[in-house]
Amino acid sequence: MTSITVTVEDDDGSEVGWFVQLLSWAPNDVHLIVHDLKFVGEHDKKFHFSSADLPSGEYGLRLALQGPGRKVGASVTSPSAIFYPAGKSWPLSLKVPTTTTQTSNTWFFRT
């Protein structure tokens, strides 16, 4: 069992206009589990969160943004390997196109 540490970096240093979720699935793959992320602190436009001790397995990190042109990056600093999308590595970033008001993405990793 290990704690998963998530770091979110907002280009403008704001804690408003984005949220992050840590997801996993029940053993029967039917029920989605949203894990609590405890806010640990903020320093230099980076917001740090930590989960409770969780078993090794597959998880999803969902990042959602609001506001045209907003750009936010996210990374998981606990031992993890992204398996979807293939070939990606931490940190990953997400930007709302100037022609829309919101976007989101989910990256899947194993611990």
DSSP conformation letters of 8-25: EEETT--SSSEEEEEEEE
Report the alpha-carbon distance of residue 100 to residue 110 in Å, rounded. 32
Residue 55, preceding bond cis, omega within 30 degrees?
Answer: no
Domain coordinates of the chain in residue numbers? 2-110
pLDDT digits (tens, 9 = 90+) for 26-73: 877 778 999 999 999 999 899 999 999 999 889 999 999 999 988 999
Task: Report the share of the chain in percent with pLDDT over 90.
Answer: 66
- Please name the amino acid found at residue 3: S
Q: pTM for this one?
A: 0.89
pLDDT band for 97, please (50, 70, 90 cuts).
Answer: very high
In this structure, the strands spanning 2-10 and 46-54 are: antiparallel
pLDDT value of residue 79:
67
pLDDT band for 2, please (50, 70, 90 cuts).
Answer: confident
